[in-house]
Structure 1
Amino acid sequence: MSGSGAARRAPTLPLLLVLFAGLAVSVVLSLALGSEPLRPAGVWETVRARLTGAAGPDPVYDAIVWELRAPRVLMGAVVGAGLALAGAVVQTLVRNPLADPYLLGVSAGAGVGATLVIVVGVFGGLGVWALSAGALTGAVLASLLVFGVSVAQGGLTPLRLVLTGVVLSAAFSSVSSFLVFVGDEPEATQAVLHWLLGSLSGSTWANTGPALVAVVLSAASLMAVHSWLDALAGGPDAAAALGVPVREVRIGLFALTSVLVGVLVAVSGGVGFVGLVVPHLARMAVGARHAAVLPVAALGGALFLVWVDVVARVLVRPQEMPLSVVTGLVGAPVFLVLMGRRQYGFSGGGR
């Protein structure tokens, strides 16, 4: 990836420290904001007591802060970081700066699974885990179908992945719409729409753990192959000349991002624009090297989604807005400004 014209790059380490400090402060502040505002000092005392085992936090604060808000704030940071990572990788995988984590049909497939749970009642025996199980199953099956069709048509080339993902996403969305149309419960229809637009309201300590593990393992794996990602961004011929096993790397990246996005969509629904805009901002800040882009994008995505969730909780309280409504209102103008100020692409062909 190369930019047109000279650009100032921010030093990576200081930027990471600033983002981390901003994220830590934002987490504490976000715990104090919601349908019922709380004192930041009381929030901090509750968090400190829980983390250190100190005596007696206020029981009201403890219930609101630790049991209700803390899991969703942590989930917001995890989902934001994971989507930003996945977006950066998918843009390199398909060599298209307009790509986002949902391009490969994972989100649309998860939507079919979630709709089947809400409207039809499949996986009902799993109780509170039914929705996540249905969404994850749909995401995995969709990924396998996109992979199978792409390979059958000639291989995992960027253009073929994009076309296959877009076409099958449209088909999966049509299936979800059909299931909603034939359903006869208005409440179920509203629940499907709310889930498809993204929400962290169902976050618990139990389902935050698997999402956190998936993001940490994915981040570690991607950082281990950051030089291969740099080479792949220059095109398959250049990457092969540098000794990169292009086909195997493409398959590995496809599998990793599919599983990562599937896990995240299963716990948060479809949250748009994070995986599209945040990687762009990261590249503008630190350049195209993935050793810098990946951690900056992860922290930036976490910080962004924490505040998106705050806006979703506060703006129309006591009701809650879907996350994609907020990310769309913020992300669309930001992305238009980015397109106007800077152009950069992927060198080489689209094979």
Structure 2
Amino acid sequence: MKPLQAPVAALMGMVLLWLALGLAMLAAITWGSASVHIGTVWSIVLDRAAHALSAQAWLDGRSWSSQQFQIVWMIRMPRALLAALVGAGLAVVGVIMQAMVRNPLADPYMLGVSSGASVGAVSVLAYGSFAAAGVFAITVGSFVGALVATVLVYLLAHHRGHIQSARLILSGVAVGYTLMGITSLITLTAGQRELAGALLTWTLGSLAGTQWRVLALPATVLVLGMLWLGLQARNLNALLAGEETAATLGVNTQRLRRQLFVAVSLLTGTMVAASGAIGFIGLVIPHIARMLVGSDHRRVLPISALLGAIFLVIVDLLARTWFAPMEIPVGVITSLIGGPFFIWMLWRNAAASQGADRAIGGAP
């Protein structure tokens, strides 16, 4: 697929993606075990918007029941918004990690960063008060765990001044499984039955039970992170070309990597604290974005965020409806999609390496 290079085409693509996100969220709010008519959904949303603006005129002549209001506004709307935020955040993290380590297989789930965030979150719940541990405390624990995991994987993969792809993947898998074991150990030794449900949430990923108060922190972190990353887009382009190239362009690669470590850990920790460890979004979405708009991070970052938001909203809708009345964790579906995609990426990289070797061998 030829990337969209023209600014007008890129702008049109952004508009279409925003429309697609709106339609996906509308479907997520409308469909479910108890379907709600689209007109009723719009009426409730307009009523809440008018209420927030203190415009009482919209509040007359309500045509929905209290049950419909609860389903639309208190259950499905915050859940769809959180799905969009988490999907966007994890996709952006994937973009950063692939540029930072120059590896197309880099992903917060594959490299153990999500597992580190899970350890931090479960530690807060286990050794603090389960009932009193708020979203902020869990997010801080997730951030610390993600930062430790990121630094550890980077140090293990770093060899003779360079990051080796094979060492990176193996280090990420090893650290991820180790941290998953630590998460299980904390849960089993904490003596709290409530942690069993929390462990399931953080290992498989779930958006069930989302409340409005949970949205503020992920939204704030995502917006601030996107603003900062937008300023760093040119530096990310240079870093993707290699450290030597970036240095010749005046980029302080060491300082940039440290800043990216913090950004990756903060975004991953915040999203995992809100939804659990949802895998493969950061692997799949950045590749689709690059096929659409090329490798320039000024376009890759916003397109990846929108694609990630659309993707997770749709996946969460499928998780609620495919096996109704039973609901399956969203991480199960993302793994079913991401696993084959990862295998295809391995095959593609192997084929590219073989083609390069043949070209070199056939050169005079």
Asked whether the two chains share a fold, i.e. TM above 0.5, the reply is yes
Q: Which residue of 2 aligns with 1:42?
A: 40
In structure 2, distance between residues paired with 1:166 and 1:288:
27
Q: Which residue of 1 aligns with 2:23?
A: 25
* Secondary structure, counterpart of 1:317 in structure 2: coil
* Secondary structure, counterpart of 2:109 in structure 1: helix
Map 1:233-312 → 2, pairs under 5 A: 233-312=240-319
CA contact (8 A) 1:123 1:134 kept: no
Map 1:39-188 → 2, pairs under 5 A: 39-53=37-51, 54-56=58-60, 57=62, 58=64, 59-103=66-110, 105-116=112-123, 120=126, 122-124=128-130, 126=132, 129=134, 133-134=137-138, 136-144=140-148, 146-147=150-151, 158-159=163-164, 165-182=172-189, 188=195
In structure 2, distance between residues paired with 1:136 and 1:155:
33
Please tell me the residue identity of whatever aligns with 1:112. V
CA contact (8 A) 1:156 1:250 kept: no
* Secondary structure, counterpart of 1:101 in structure 2: coil
Q: Which residue of 2 aligns with 1:348?
A: none
* Secondary structure, counterpart of 2:222 in structure 1: helix
Say if 1:171 and 1:330 are closer, same or farther in 2 by CA, change over 3 A: closer
- 1:261 is displaced (CA, Å) by 0.6
Unpaired runs of at least 5, structure 1: 1-6, 346-351
CA contact (8 A) 1:236 1:246 kept: yes
Please tell me the residue identity of whatever aligns with 1:123. S
* Cα shift readout 1:298-319 (whole Å, capped 9, x = no counterpart): 0000000001110111112222
- 1:55 is displaced (CA, Å) by 0.8
Please tell me the residue identity of whatever aligns with 1:248. R
- 1:167 is displaced (CA, Å) by 3.8
Q: Identity of aligned pairs, percent?
A: 37
* Cα shift readout 1:5-51 (whole Å, capped 9, x = no counterpart): xx511332111111101111211121011221111121111112211
In structure 2, distance between residues paired with 1:46 and 1:164:
49
1:228 counterpart = 2:217: no
Please tell me the residue identity of whatever aligns with 1:228. N
In structure 1, distance between residues paired with 2:129 and 2:268:
21
Say if 1:344 and 1:70 are closer, same or farther in 2 by CA, change over 3 A: farther
- 1:193 is displaced (CA, Å) by 2.2
Say if 1:155 and 1:124 are closer, same or farther in 2 by CA, change over 3 A: farther
* Secondary structure, counterpart of 1:126 in structure 2: coil
* Secondary structure, counterpart of 1:98 in structure 2: coil
TM-score of the aligned structures, taking structure 1 as reference length: 0.85
In structure 1, distance between residues paired with 2:195 and 2:206:
15
TM-score of the aligned structures, taking structure 2 as reference length: 0.82
- 1:325 is displaced (CA, Å) by 0.8
Please tell me the residue identity of whatever aligns with 2:286. P
* Secondary structure, counterpart of 1:199 in structure 2: coil
Select the structure of larger CA radius of gyration.
2
Say if 1:144 and 1:295 are closer, same or farther in 2 by CA, change over 3 A: same
Say if 1:16 and 1:257 are closer, same or farther in 2 by CA, change over 3 A: same
In structure 1, distance between residues paired with 2:292 and 2:236:
18
Q: Which residue of 2 aligns with 1:319?
A: 326
- 1:162 is displaced (CA, Å) by 6.2
In structure 2, distance between residues paired with 1:155 and 1:203:
46
Q: Which residue of 1 aligns with 2:2?
A: 8
In structure 2, distance between residues paired with 1:240 and 1:297:
27
Unpaired runs of at least 5, structure 2: 52-57, 354-364
CA contact (8 A) 2:286 2:300 kept: yes
Cα RMSD for the two superposed structures: 2.9
- 1:138 is displaced (CA, Å) by 4.1
In structure 1, distance between residues paired with 2:188 and 2:130:
21
Please tell me the residue identity of whatever aligns with 1:326. I
